[in-house]
Structure 1
Amino acid sequence: MSKSKTRLGNWQEEIAFEEDKKKLQKALQSTGGLLSQQILAKVQQHTVPCTLGQLGDVLQYGVPFLFQNTSNDGALAIDMDDRILGPLGWKVNCSTTPSREATLRSSWVVMPNPTGGATISDPVCYGNKVLICSVAELADPPVFLASEMKTPQSCSKFSKNQEVYFTPNTGIGSLWSFEYSNPEYRQDVEGQPINPTSPVVLKHVATNNFLATTNFHFTNDFGSENEICCARLQTFASKSRTAPERSENYWRIVGAI
């Protein structure tokens, strides 16, 4: 696969990320040992470049894209080896990465709800119940973005909001819908094809909460990354929930340039 030329957002963060990655790889190589070799191999496998799709005028099912948050320009990313076994199956950790490169760990496709009426050839529309799926080269079988109701036993690690993870299951917890960025017009555009050049919010169908990234940083095998969670982060309190969301709730759909 050819290397993606997608580079957006804060260049200083990207340069710092690349320096951290080089330092990490150098440290792993110098320390030796089986564990270090395994981590290095994992990083190399996860960061294989991925070719993004041409998005066109409407978002299509099955076309690889980056999902980039507007608050920190971080891209949704996964660590397939960072997982725990929960009551309903595996939970695979995810985050936002400052890397602007399209890699296997940060590239996604939208797939139709298996029990819905949409087909792979249809455009993705606002309000459709969909799956956010890993690319085929990363995981077989694939994994899907998921969440569940917040409880004392299940919440995001740092912000204590609703937990978000990836899972091989395609049940109700893995269903999402793209919503129009302006809450005043969401109902008006529901059912219309999504324009991939416009920011969106991603709503978790089962809990009605929105995908978000936070300012909480943590270090994993890929460097310093940001927490992912589900929460409605509105600019001001609104009983009708029509207040605009904060930038942490808004996402860009980024395809090939």
Structure 2
Amino acid sequence: MTHSGSYSCKVKTGNWFEDVLCEDAKKKERGELVAQKVDFLKENILRPVNLTVTVDGRLHFGNVVMLVNMGGEKRECSAVSINADINSVRRSPSPGIQAPCEVSAGKGIQACVRTAFIITSVDGSPEGSTLHFEQSFALKTTSGFAGGLYLTSDMKRLEKCAKKSRLQEVTLDDSGSFMSWWKIVHFEPQERLEYEGQPVPANVRVLIKHCKTNQALAVLGQHVIWTPYDNEYELTAHTFLNSCRGEEDNNHWILCTSRSEGKELVILNHPQPAAHDEELTQANPDI
């Protein structure tokens, strides 16, 4: 005698096709289909964010910025981005990204939840005060869906390193510990002593160094990873030096803000490296 429901739909016996459709319908009602989860993730993480408009041309604690690398040989312009997939999203108590979460260097240069970071004080400096070269700070994702997570790194270990390059890993974490402390260093080695303690200008090339390991944030053009958003570059903490003992452009970053007259990014002008010193002087007349 045949009994209805004696087998699951995976066995493909009886009315298995109808059972599959019924189960899919129930999942759809609950928003549990993979396509629905992907749409939900992208809808929230790609939502536009207003970057800070810098009035004095300097970076301040509390500023919302993008971390942009202007690219190099065989490497496009890219920005530090939250690399969250559907497994990184929690539903309760409120929808959002859960820690730990991966990061990558995305080629989509747009200010959104995925690419916006808040310059956060770790030494008691009040919000709104100026960030200085060599001063410790944290980079935190926005609150809400992005979860307020910290850009974090630690010394490379056999069981904990970047997946492709095997260099020092960079992730997002919610601890806010010393592993999430960074500092801004002038990109020109000969100028670092002179600029130490001076205000950091916005929208110019700098190095972002990890305080614990002293390794510089880097984008790796030769290591491409697949993400739900596009093929992107691996992000790591590793200092790449050229023959003159200066850091390669893999380590050069712009903490990008918005234009005062609109939402356009300042770096969309793509300033040439030769103009860097002039821009730095204009942004910091006291230097």
TM norm structure 1: 0.78
- C-alpha deviation, 1:33, in angstroms: 7.3
8 Å CA contact 1:130–1:175 kept in 2: the answer is yes
Aligned position for 1:36: 35
In structure 1, give the amino acid aligned to 2:174: P
8 Å CA contact 2:113–2:146 kept in 1: the answer is no
CA distance in 2, matches of 1:92, 1:197: 27
Aligned residues: 214
Q: Once the two structures are superposed, what CA deviation does each residue of 1:72-92 show, in whole Å capped at 9, x if it has no partner?
A: 310110034465xxxxx9421
Aligned position for 2:179: 173
1:107 aligns with 2:116: yes
Aligned position for 1:65: 65
Aligned position for 2:18: none
Aligned position for 1:132: 139
Aligned position for 1:244: 246
8 Å CA contact 1:70–1:248 kept in 2: the answer is no
Aligned position for 1:203: 209
* SS in structure 2 of the partner of residue 138 of structure 1: helix
CA distance in 2, matches of 1:153, 1:182: 34
Higher relative contact order (CA 8 A, sep 6+): 1
- C-alpha deviation, 1:101, in angstroms: 1.3
Give 1:91's match in structure 2, choosing from 100, 103, 124.
Answer: 100
In structure 2, give the amino acid aligned to 1:105: R
TM norm structure 2: 0.71
Once superposed, which parts of structure 1, at least 4 consecutive aligned residues long, lie more than 6 Å away? none
- C-alpha deviation, 1:53, in angstroms: 1.1
Aligned position for 2:225: 218
Q: Once the two structures are superposed, what CA deviation does each residue of 1:210-251 show, in whole Å capped at 9, x if it has no partner?
A: 000101111111111110001110112x7xxxx211101000
CA distance in 1, matches of 2:203, 2:119: 16
In structure 1, give the amino acid aligned to 2:107: P
Give 2:82's match in structure 1, choosing from 78, 82, 89.
Answer: 78
In structure 2, give the amino acid aligned to 1:143: L
Identity %: 22
* SS in structure 2 of the partner of residue 188 of structure 1: helix
RMSD: 2.0
The runs of 5 or more residues in structure 1 that have no matched partner are: 1-31, 84-88
Aligned position for 1:48: 47
Q: Once the two structures are superposed, what CA deviation does each residue of 1:151-207 show, in whole Å capped at 9, x if it has no partner?
A: 111111111110000100111100000111111111221111101132111000000
- C-alpha deviation, 1:95, in angstroms: 0.4
* SS in structure 1 of the partner of residue 168 of structure 2: coil
CA distance in 1, matches of 2:66, 2:112: 9
In structure 2, give the amino acid aligned to 1:124: L
- C-alpha deviation, 1:62, in angstroms: 1.1
In terms of mean alpha carbon deviation, does 129-138 or 168-177 score higher?
129-138
Give 1:254's match in structure 2, choosing from 253, 256, 260.
Answer: 256
In terms of mean alpha carbon deviation, does 34-43 or 131-140 score higher?
131-140
- C-alpha deviation, 1:117, in angstroms: 3.7
8 Å CA contact 1:104–1:137 kept in 2: the answer is no
